[in-house]
Amino acid sequence: MHILDAVFLMSNTNVTGCPPANLPEVAFIGRSNVGKSSLINMLVNKKGLAKTSGTPGKTQTINHFEVQVKKGTNWYLVDLPGYGYAKISKSSRGDWKNMTRHYLKERENLKCLFVLVDIRHEAQKLDIEFMEQLINDEFPFCLVLTKADKLKEKAVVDAYEKYENTLIERWGDAPTMLVSSAESQLGKDQILNLITTLFEEDK
């Protein structure tokens, strides 16, 4: 895929205000601070497009970006708000759940959700439960282990295998899993190729 540019379209708190569902779309979700916005910027080669921050809870709305490609159809890339952010009130946590669940249910052009987890941590309850909800809802997703530059190469392989085994033990199978780094651009081509395939399969 040859990306020409990516532009921010709008932020929403409800699916009804989002751009028309006339382009294929993928979305990024995961624990607050896991690196969703950084990964988006890395994929489209545009630092500062999605706002990043060292403070968890930066992205609190559904953010749409349009990715313009050289040949073929443009697509939407969506930065969803993070979950599991400790300093958030119970009611805001409920709002997050409602907003995202509603989004996943209603957004018909959303082809796949990329669930991001930090490669430095073992599989965590919150992420597992979130993915189990997706499985129950039969919502297509793949898993991205982020911030691989923080570990040595061998540790990356070990962490990947450990995560995969945990999921296989629980579910009998693991989703498509990728490793990324917004720093080193690791995983960029793989993720973009996967997106291309997803959109083509759907035609």
Rounded to whole angstroms, the Cα distance separating 172 from 76 reads 32
Q: How far is the CB of 76 from ligand GTP (least distance, A)?
A: 17
Site size for ligand GTP (CB under 6 A): 22
Q: Which does 54 bind (CB under 5 to 8 A by kind): Mg ion, ligand GTP, none?
A: ligand GTP
Q: Which is nearer to ligand GTP, 59 or 100 (CB)?
A: 59
Rounded to whole angstroms, the Cα distance separating 108 from 129 reads 23
Q: Which is nearer to Mg ion, 31 or 58 (CB)?
A: 58
Backbone angles phi, psi at 57, to 5 degrees: 90, 20
Q: Which is nearer to ligand GTP, 6 or 199 (CB)?
A: 6
Backbone φ/ψ region at 114: left (φ over 0), alpha (ψ -120 to 50), beta: beta
**Contacting ligand GTP (CB under 6 A), which of 159, 182, 194, 195?**
182
Residues 59-78 that bind ligand GTP (CB under 6 A): 59
Asked if 149 is part of the footprint of ligand GTP (rule: CB under 6 A), the reply reads yes
HSE-CB at 38 with a 13 A cutoff on CA atoms is 23
Question: What is the x/- site pattern for Mg ion, positions 23-62, by CB under 5 A?
Answer: -------------xx--------------------xx---
E strand or H helix that includes residue 18: none
Q: Are residues 43 and 188 in contact, defined by beta-carbon separation less than 8 angstroms?
A: yes
